[in-house]
Structure 1
Amino acid sequence: MTVQPKVVIVGAGIVGCALSDELTARGWTDVTVLEQGPLFATGGSSSHAPGLVFQTNASKTMTEFASYTVRKYSDLTLDGQWCFRRVGGLEVATTPERLAELKRKHGLATSWGVQGSLLDPDQCATLHPLLDREQVLGGLHVPTDGLAKAVRAGEAQARRAIGRGARFLPHHTVTGFESAGGRVTAVVTDRGSFPADVVVSCAGFWGPRIGRMAGLTVPLVPLAHQYARTTPVPALAGHTTEQLEASKPILRHQDRDLYYREHGDRIGIGSYAHRPMPVDLDDVAPPALPQAPQTPQQPPQQMPSMLPFTEEDFAQPWADSQALLPALTRAKVEEGFNGIFSFTSDGFPLLGEAPELRGFWVAEAVWVTHSAGVARAMAEWLVEGTPRTDVHECDLNRFEPVQLAPAYVHRRSCQNFVEVYDIIHPLQPMEEPRPLRVSPFHSRQRELGAFFLEASGWERPHWYETNRDLPEVAAVPGRGAWASRYWSPIAGAEALATRERVAMYDMTALKRLEVTGPGSLALLQYLTTNQLERPVGSVTYTLMLDETGGVRSDLTVARLGPERFQIGANGPLDLDWITRHLPGDGTVQVRDTTAGTCCIGLWGPLARDLVQPLTDADFSHKGFGYFKARQAHLGNVPVTAMRLSYVGELGWELYTTADCGPKLWDTLWEAGQPLGVVAAGRSAFNSLRLEKGYRSWGTDLTAEHNPYEAGLGFAVRMEKGDFVGRHALLGLTEQTVPRRLACLLLDDPQAVVMGREPVYLDGAPAGYVTSAAYGYSIGASIAYAWLPGAAAEPGTRVTVEYFGEQLPATVTEEPLFDPKMTRLRC
């Protein structure tokens, strides 16, 4: 008989209640939920949340979380009362820019399986008669959106969990944790200790305080958000009952950072149209104990998360609300409060296990909208070992160390509040704080007029203004307004110069890990799919899978010594995954070397002409084959050179220490002048890699996809022995999987899409775009997309919906450029 783990959940808000339900439904019934406040209006964000559930999101994961929340709560009742009402959701546009954005969002909804429709002004006014039809240019209607009663839904799920054996204990304040051997063993409260094998912090905006007790940084900021209720609105009289609360769709007026819902004959108004109001947890009173006397800090019935309403911040939102909903001119603001919610630096929740205290998990910064979906994913993660929904965007361990600085978290989280309803371009970076991380080449790049975008704190050039005079610029076609943002035709010229001559790419932001020790080969063989037992000097492309066969990451692994490997990884999650699998005997060490090193990708048909005169080492094809690595000196600079290319051209990744970086750049730049060398940026890089069909993990594929679906079966060596995920791949082939990543060419070469657009087959949604770019070498617009296996065959005709327009496209053989690999292997 399997012994059940003892689970302690901290927090009985909507997330803690949902998680208790999901865990006990899977057979983990030894569950204790500790709550510092009363049950079930605990005093946190759930207690005052207005409950609007809009499912559409640019993130597939967040949409799936919301959609599951809708499905689950729709079936919940509490003592005959509803927990969710599908009144529908309506977003309206009052500007042309927002109208275009709603068309894009309709595409996102379709991509992720949420049905919605675009409405004209008359249809919007019919659906929501309080609207001023003259202000509205159009709308997006999702019939399955609606209202969630957070406290009610929480209690309904808690009762189900209690019926299976869980217990809920109110007025238990966590004061610390006990641990042994790097694992949590107990939760300490003001009313005693509770043994635990697994602890999950679902404490909401109190999460950072709980995290500190466990030695963990929980990077979220509590921010106040205004919510007001009006006096009775005559136009609503008789339209609904107090029990049903609403007769019309929930409404968003994102051009003014506002949303609305009915409370019977009153209107509730939520506003993000005010300054960020960060909250110091030391200023938030704890929930009152039973029979606690009234104090100025804790009036009766007042939730700690409900701060006094600042009327001056609501003046303009009230005026904007009366303009959109003229019926409000016959009402007043009757009451309001500033409610505390959790915001993170990138807008996603924080889910996962602490890196240095095993068994301590968090599910924080989760709003009611996504609560049930997050709880399901967490329960799958705990019980089954991996969530069925890809959660890399939400993983607690996704951040670089610099992104955990309190000042960084505060500034970015406040900015996310400001931008919560803004129209955000896929490439749009945060503006502050910048710059944080720069490569040793940064000053040289600025001299060349680099246009920088930011990722993981790194400043990354996307193109260089000094290349504006390249003759290739004239051959670069234009594109639409949306695709032209954060783009320049210079990028096309840089791509063509790479194909025709030679270019230098800054690859410093690529995560580099060093794995060493006598057990290093055995560990990497177990964690990856390809054969790594190769001679020193070999470089191997390989995958890391989870137990279900989903692709956690793709790596390049260079064997630089018998017990020394350099890994080109995708980010902090790869380091976390490897670290969690280190043997306990100390035979393997892993180290992040990114900050102390740098890399230039030198690629193009003239790359050998540039590099060979700089070194005594043999850089010929015979002397330095494809996917090989060696130590050498280029001029005065010691480098580790790896012959591989993500752009499909002859060349090398050239690594050196950060102190030698400027000298490496200058050495290559000077030697390349007679050859017409250019500095090239990420925009050209992305175009070139799509012409070659090279996948980008996290964009083209995630843990939701297996290698054969993604076209990466060549990186799997089933015969090498056991590895993580191997059992799940047994019997699979690229011919038998039900879906595949396919290459599309759009009929219109100027119709450049951006990714996440829906793809239609025979008029019905069939998949979605992952990566897209214009292929400058082939003169065509490229899009990769997930499609049903039968539809992924070359020659299949499909359409891509882009801002409401249907763009014809054809599934095409890949790679599109140099299919025989002659340019790489010369």
Structure 2
Amino acid sequence: MLVPRYSFFFSRSFSNRLITSSDVVVCGGGIAGTSIAYHLARRGKRVCLIEKHSIGGAGATAKCGGLVSSPLIWDDLACEYMARKSLNLYDHLADIKGFEYVRCGRLSVTTSERGQSSIDRLLSKGKVIGGVEKISDHSDLVSFMPVLNVKDVKGALLTTEDVYVDAVALCQELAAEAALAGARISEGVSVTEVLLGHDRQVYAVDTTEGLIETPVFVDASGIWSGHISVKNLPHGRVQLASFPAIYQNLLTERIPSASILSKDQPIVYDMDRNVVIHAGSNRTLVAGFNEESIRAASKKDDKWMETRHDWDLFQGSLGDAIARIPMIGSIKVGELSQGLEAYTPDGACTIGESSQAKGYFVAGGFCGQGLSLAGGVGEVLSEWIIDGRPSIDVSRIDVARFLELHANQQYLCERIPEVATLTYRNTKSGHQFHSARNLRMSPIYHQLKAAGAVFGETMGYERPLWFESKGPEKSVYSASERGHLGKAPWFAHVEKEYGACRERVGLIDLTSFTKFELSGPDVVSHLQYLCSADIDRPIGTTIFTGMQNLTGGYVSDCTLSRLGDESFFMVAPTIQQDRVFNWMNKWAQIRNANVHIQDVTAAYTALGVVGPLSRHLLSDLTDESVSPTAFPSFKCKEINIGMATGIRAISVSHCGELGWVLYIPNEQAQNVYERIVEAGREYSLQHAGYYTLRHLRIEKFYVYWGQDIDATVTPVECGRSFRVHLQKDFIGKAAIEKQMEEGIFKRFVHVLVDNFDPSRDPTPIGGEFIYRDGRMVGHVTSTAYGFTLGAQVCIAVVHKEDGISMPFLTSGKWHIEIAGREYGVRISPHSPTLPMES
């Protein structure tokens, strides 16, 4: 056994006799499944929890090291929220049940400047949410952990809310509490098939003990998520983008000098070596997360293959652990164990309802942090099932963010070992993966690479981040990570590209944008109901609009170009491809609307022509007039460029500059690209990447969905109420009208950071707190250097319990804290006025 386990035998409390119907059937008796059953039962739902083995006795819960991470470490607000909910629940159960539960904290140590910067950022965050202690010097560090080698340590931090818990005991107690609340728990029972009706709605679950009628099935089966048979689906199962990795842990007897150590000894995390050590009162746990020691699992005859532990693979991690705590090298008895843990391609868990089957919910892919999140996941998913939506924004962890192509086994096997190295990293959001690349590429990918593109990846799509004069072959794996002290390696390149887009003309590949064609007799009325703007505009008009939910928040933002009386072309964010498609189809079915929706994302190459000379360049390329009167902003025309026909030119730049996006049929994309580059020589055309687009749009105060706004933000709160058309009915109208009448309690603002030197100061990365008169009132959502304004620029959201007013925004002393340093800031609810340069 990897860790000591709870001695009380719970299986006698549960039965393998099944009920014939249930409101919800949950598959999986690990910590996630029991949490979901617990929260559903407490809200009055009839729940049946099915576990193939015993509760907590198999899978990741049984094999995990029992370490629960502090809410402080999470970048994503939803994960931070769920981690807090988990701790609260576990604290409560430990108080009343008495199993082993030690709030030991985590001691993070670093030997690098980058690691010190991460520590400084956590300290800044900890001032607000708590749970952190600063380690001033080596003597302080040794007082926390006497056996630690501190000679090379440059910085350290203690997060006080990390916990060691007997995970099996916790899981069994949670199941017992679920049973007391009315849940039926059956051990030794397997789900054999989930049954769907003609409309792909779950109606029953077949098991080894019989059939259970239910409208809701929750797949919380851990490494088996996505491998459960589902009747009437093309692949015979729900396609999920998660896959198990094989990891190894070393469990030894206690450190020889454990007599001088307290039971509350902190977990040690060496940030640079990426090893975790927990010296407990009766055992020592060592876990390493280097890519060479982690492998993707494999299946044979529908079973995950158990491979033997491999000391050679673990040797590097063991050496790193001994370097940090030398006394580990003198321990004589140790057991190397391996386990399986489900990971996703982007390192975030997957929860929510699958788009492939109605009533089929998922909670999995926890990427080594299932114990840290499960308590909160149970609450959030129960809200989703009962109320129809969770109370928080979960877009970054929603299962619908992935497409079926992300469930490809080869893709997952190549990506997962690298994702597993991030299990304990404090900051994941700036990471660019080097594995499983080139899954989705623009037709002009190779031309862009030859032009010097340095590519990043979003949802499997290769996108130029910036360009260098000599076509780079190096990976962007480290070069594009955020959190730099001083200018990032790409700063000068982006400054050059930005200058071209502001003064001449830039060319940006936007092919990864999500694209739909909508048509049918009811298309206008359907879109009018889904969108908050007036879309019943003349043919050739492009409308920028939000799709709101019932509370007025953004399901997505998008542009709609009217192609005909009953046809539209939609462009939405890259990460919204599946979600927007499902949302539009869901409401078409509810309203019985005669609408045809076709995903044409892969049919068009999108090239953005941006800058004051973009009109001149475009006029050289086409016979269609592009004068300000003939082709003003927010218009759509079909044009020819050279021999290419059927190009949709839309006069929207997505960054506030003059420009067009050309949507070119893929088979003609290379020809058109070459003509643009050739004609652009006269205007000193410059290739530009997504980092330049980010700098342009943030400086102009253009909020983006998924980076700034989400399902909890309304148009009134982000300054887009002028786009809302209240003279019609649409989803979320009542909520928006109420805000307009009663006022708002949060608002997005444009922030200029004073006395910021990009060459030496720590770069903000998002999440930094904004203060007014010494009180925290908001946080940064996105940030970039404003080359025209000559200042670091942030987009932030500020809150006030009794309502946001202009006097509140225009008075007081405001500042931001970035990695422990304070800077004065200027706040404005409006976009700055920037001169047009040429």
By the TM > 0.5 criterion, same fold? yes
Q: Letter of the 1:701 partner, please give it.
A: I
Residue number among 234, 243, 255 corresponding to 1:221 in the alignment: 243
Counterpart CA distance in 2 for 1:720 and 1:104 is 46
What's the counterpart of residue 196 of structure 1? 214
Q: Is the 8 A contact 1:85 1:146 kept in 2?
A: yes
Stretch moving more, 367-376 or 755-764: 755-764
Residues 1:601 and 2:612 aligned together: no
Q: Is the 8 A contact 2:75 2:429 kept in 1?
A: no
Stretch moving more, 576-585 or 550-559: 576-585
Residue number among 3, 6, 20 corresponding to 2:37 in the alignment: 20
What's the counterpart of residue 351 of structure 1? 351
Q: Is the 8 A contact 2:255 2:328 kept in 1?
A: yes
Counterpart CA distance in 1 for 2:310 and 2:227 is 26
Counterpart CA distance in 2 for 1:497 and 1:322 is 52
Residue number among 97, 112, 126 corresponding to 2:114 in the alignment: 97
Residues 1:49 and 2:55 aligned together: no
Where do residues 173-184 of structure 1 align in structure 2 (5 Å cutoff)? 173-181=190-198, 182-184=200-202
What's the counterpart of residue 450 of structure 1? 453
Counterpart CA distance in 2 for 1:225 and 1:114 is 32
Q: Is the 8 A contact 1:792 1:811 kept in 2?
A: no
Q: Is the 8 A contact 2:195 2:230 kept in 1?
A: no
Partner of 1:679, secondary structure, is strand
Residues 1:815 and 2:831 aligned together: yes
Q: Spell out, residue by residue over 1:666-705, the C-alpha distance to the aligned partner (whole angstroms, 9 max, x if none).
A: 3333333323322222222111111211111111122232
Q: Spell out, residue by residue over 1:186-205, the C-alpha distance to the aligned partner (whole angstroms, 9 max, x if none).
A: 11111111111100010001
Structure-2 change in CA distance of 1:577 and 1:106 (3 Å): farther
Residue number among 674, 683, 693 corresponding to 1:685 in the alignment: 693
Residues 1:499 and 2:502 aligned together: yes
Q: Spell out, residue by residue over 1:425-465, the C-alpha distance to the aligned partner (whole angstroms, 9 max, x if none).
A: 75442123332322233233233222222222222223333
Q: Is the 8 A contact 1:427 1:486 kept in 2?
A: no
Q: Letter of the 2:237 partner, please give it.
A: G
Question: Could you tell me the percent identity over the aligned residues?
Answer: 27
Structure-2 change in CA distance of 1:311 and 1:462 (3 Å): closer
Q: Letter of the 1:578 partner, please give it.
A: M
Partner of 1:686, secondary structure, is helix
Structure-2 change in CA distance of 1:44 and 1:732 (3 Å): same
Counterpart CA distance in 1 for 2:483 and 2:586 is 46
Structure-2 change in CA distance of 1:96 and 1:685 (3 Å): closer
Where do residues 94-493 of structure 1 align in structure 2 (5 Å cutoff)? 94-107=111-124, 113-120=129-136, 121-181=138-198, 182-210=200-228, 215-237=237-259, 246-273=263-290, 275-282=293-300, 309-366=309-366, 367-421=370-424, 426-466=429-469, 481-482=484-485, 484-485=487-488, 487-493=490-496
Residues 1:633 and 2:640 aligned together: yes
Q: Letter of the 2:631 partner, please give it.
A: F
Residue number among 69, 85, 88 corresponding to 1:68 in the alignment: 85
Q: Is the 8 A contact 2:637 2:648 kept in 1?
A: yes
What's the counterpart of residue 297 of structure 1? none
Structure-2 change in CA distance of 1:238 and 1:105 (3 Å): closer
Q: Is the 8 A contact 1:385 1:547 kept in 2?
A: no
Q: Is the 8 A contact 1:228 1:333 kept in 2?
A: no
Q: Letter of the 1:175 partner, please give it.
A: T
Structure-2 change in CA distance of 1:729 and 1:148 (3 Å): farther
Residues 1:737 and 2:744 aligned together: yes
Partner of 2:228, secondary structure, is helix
1:32: Cα distance to partner? Answer: 0.4
Q: Is the 8 A contact 1:692 1:814 kept in 2?
A: no
What's the counterpart of residue 104 of structure 2? 87
Counterpart CA distance in 2 for 1:525 and 1:672 is 39
Counterpart CA distance in 2 for 1:5 and 1:624 is 59
Q: Spell out, residue by residue over 1:32-57, the C-alpha distance to the aligned partner (whole angstroms, 9 max, x if none).
A: 0111012x233111122222112212
Structure-2 change in CA distance of 1:670 and 1:318 (3 Å): closer
What's the counterpart of residue 802 of structure 1? 818
Counterpart CA distance in 2 for 1:205 and 1:455 is 25
Where do residues 545-560 of structure 1 align in structure 2 (5 Å cutoff)? 545-560=548-563
What's the counterpart of residue 598 of structure 2? 591
TM-score by length of 2: 0.87
Stretch moving more, 116-125 or 81-90: 81-90
1:493: Cα distance to partner? Answer: 2.0
Q: Letter of the 2:253 partner, please give it.
A: T
Q: Spell out, residue by residue over 1:327-346, the C-alpha distance to the aligned partner (whole angstroms, 9 max, x if none).
A: 43553333331122111111
Partner of 2:624, secondary structure, is coil
Q: Is the 8 A contact 1:795 1:812 kept in 2?
A: no
What's the counterpart of residue 7 of structure 2? none
Counterpart CA distance in 2 for 1:398 and 1:258 is 31
Structure 1, unpaired ranges of 5+: 241-245, 287-303, 469-478
Residues 1:771 and 2:789 aligned together: no
Partner of 2:552, secondary structure, is coil
Residue number among 619, 642, 652 corresponding to 2:660 in the alignment: 652
Q: Is the 8 A contact 2:254 2:280 kept in 1?
A: no
Q: Spell out, residue by residue over 1:291-337, the C-alpha distance to the aligned partner (whole angstroms, 9 max, x if none).
A: xxxxxxxxxxxxx98x7543333434334333322443553333331
What's the counterpart of residue 764 of structure 2? 753
Structure-2 change in CA distance of 1:335 and 1:657 (3 Å): same
Q: Is the 8 A contact 2:202 2:358 kept in 1?
A: yes
Counterpart CA distance in 2 for 1:116 and 1:346 is 27
Structure-2 change in CA distance of 1:57 and 1:79 (3 Å): closer
Q: Spell out, residue by residue over 1:66-105, the C-alpha distance to the aligned partner (whole angstroms, 9 max, x if none).
A: 1211111111138731464322222122344322322233
Counterpart CA distance in 2 for 1:676 and 1:284 is 59
Structure-2 change in CA distance of 1:513 and 1:267 (3 Å): same
Q: Spell out, residue by residue over 1:505-561, the C-alpha distance to the aligned partner (whole angstroms, 9 max, x if none).
A: 222111111111112222222222111122222211111222232222111111111
What's the counterpart of residue 626 of structure 2? 619
Residue number among 561, 564, 576 corresponding to 2:582 in the alignment: 576
What's the counterpart of residue 478 of structure 2? none
Q: Letter of the 1:160 partner, please give it.
A: E
1:146: Cα distance to partner? Answer: 1.4
Counterpart CA distance in 2 for 1:501 and 1:172 is 67
Q: Letter of the 2:346 partner, please give it.
A: D
TM-score by length of 1: 0.89
Counterpart CA distance in 2 for 1:218 and 1:564 is 33
Partner of 1:600, secondary structure, is strand
What's the counterpart of residue 782 of structure 1? 793
Q: Is the 8 A contact 1:174 1:210 kept in 2?
A: yes
Partner of 2:151, secondary structure, is coil
Counterpart CA distance in 2 for 1:784 and 1:696 is 10
Q: Is the 8 A contact 1:88 1:249 kept in 2?
A: yes
Structure-2 change in CA distance of 1:525 and 1:586 (3 Å): closer
Structure-2 change in CA distance of 1:575 and 1:357 (3 Å): same
Structure-2 change in CA distance of 1:95 and 1:648 (3 Å): closer
Q: Is the 8 A contact 1:127 1:248 kept in 2?
A: yes
1:18: Cα distance to partner? Answer: 0.5
Q: Is the 8 A contact 1:650 1:823 kept in 2?
A: no
Counterpart CA distance in 2 for 1:486 and 1:526 is 46
Q: Is the 8 A contact 1:69 1:372 kept in 2?
A: yes
Q: Letter of the 2:650 partner, please give it.
A: M
Counterpart CA distance in 1 for 2:533 and 2:208 is 52
